[in-house]
Structure 1
């Protein structure tokens, strides 16, 4: 069964209180970089995989997109998305990302934010995206960085006084399932190497146009001294590509 923690009432409540949930895109530490890698949305048909609260869907509409479809496995997430954008041209579909099945040339742009580390096969999702994306269409996605996901605990090593010593990286080349704690719950993720993401795109026929390991937004560093720890290891990886049939 595909994982859906977000429809658990307690988990969803905690997630809803996170900065990126409350403030939207401006509360996401990687948005200042992701935004620069997105293509021109004007007049385009857009698919957002793992759309969550629909922040990126609404951004695409604001930038002139012709239509947007947001896909997410969580009914609670989609209910929140619809609440904030009840009268736009965004269509929300409740489905696992892995189960998408759109016809050829359905979209000009496919985006995804922090969803693909929850799915087992990146090759499979690349094939499905390529099948529904027009020739020359754009594919842009962000993921948790493989250095962030490799060890599994996704937490620092601390000394006896609770000071952060270093970020553990282990079993990097052993791809597959990882159990981690997120918002007090056990969550399943799938670790993949940078090689797997890059070669998955190349094998599927995409031309990579950008790859960035974003540093945290500088304004976050000014607001919170603790955020300087985010400069000690990469947390996100963002890749942009073109479909070449």
Structure 2
């Protein structure tokens, strides 16, 4: 099983950091508000954050009442920032790959993951291990790159007029799941494509009940400030899923 750990690549990490610091970043404007709109009541809950990155969500979970938060990430560079900027008494940061959670102990009421599951090759195993870690009735809430985004294997993503106006998204290879090697900040970034039915059926097989799915779009206020986000109405950037562990 492949663990690329692209976030510890110095060039990628610096490029990613600059992207996230931009006020127009889609993570801040679209993904994060949608993620927290699906957030269950965290009062007194034990929370696991898979692919916690900088740890800012971990700290927010505490503000929302979580009794303890475990932030897990493979990247040492990410965890260094998390420990420096978002450490707290009831947060534990752990360096571990999402590809194998078998060494992780404890039981959690809520498992979050923000924009990380598309880096995991074996989605079925990930779901089985999350199911094991969740208490009965626990919630798994995750976001990922939209399946239309992960589908492409080659070619330009957008068709544009000569003046640069986007006409439509060039969807291709959607029905071919598996590895994708893309250029994002650096060449050779590995992600994994799954169709909507792959995702839903895997959740069901693993013992989850689907509660809600979102494909969030930027509102009028964002479009007024950043007109380039109009392209999201052709193809959303993100897919968010909230699922509940079924009681045995």
1:20 Cα deviation from its structure 2 partner: 6.0
- Is the partner of 1:98 in helix, strand or coil? coil
Aligned residue for 2:74? Answer: 73
Deviations 1:97-130 (A, max 9, x none): 1121234x61010010111111112111010000
Query: What is the alpha-carbon distance in structure 2 between the residues aligned to residue 219 and residue 30 of structure 1?
Result: 15
TM-score under structure 2 length normalisation: 0.91
How many residues of Structure 1 are paired with residues of Structure 2 in the alignment?
A: 244
- Report the TM-score when normalising by structure 1: 0.92
Distance 1:15 1:32, change over 3 A: same
Pairing 1:143-154 to 2, within 5 Å after superposition: 143-153=144-154
Give the Å deviation of 1:216: 2.2
Partner of residue 92, structure 2: 91
Deviation, 1:218, is 4.0
Shift in CA distance, 20/156, structure 1 to aligned 2, threshold 3 Å: farther
Equivalence for 1:12: 13
Ranges in structure 1 where 5+ consecutive residues have no aligned partner: none
Q: Give the whole-Å Cα distance in 2 for the aligned partners of 1:141 and 1:87.
A: 23
| Secondary structure in structure 2 of the residue aligned to 1:97 | coil
Deviations 1:50-97 (A, max 9, x none): 111112111101111010111111000111111112333111111111
In 1, distance between residues paired with 2:12 and 2:27? Answer: 22
Mapped contact 1:29–1:220 kept (Cα < 8 A): no
Structure 2 contact 153–173 (Cα < 8 Å) conserved: no
CA RMSD of aligned residues (A): 2.1
- What is the CA distance between 1:188 and its match in structure 2? 0.7
> What stretches of structure 2 of length at least 5 have no aligned partner?
none
Q: What does residue range 14-163 of structure 1 map to in structure 2 within 5 Å?
A: 14-19=15-20, 27-101=28-102, 102-103=104-105, 106-153=107-154, 155-163=157-165
Q: Distance in 2 between matches of 1:24 and 1:108?
A: 30
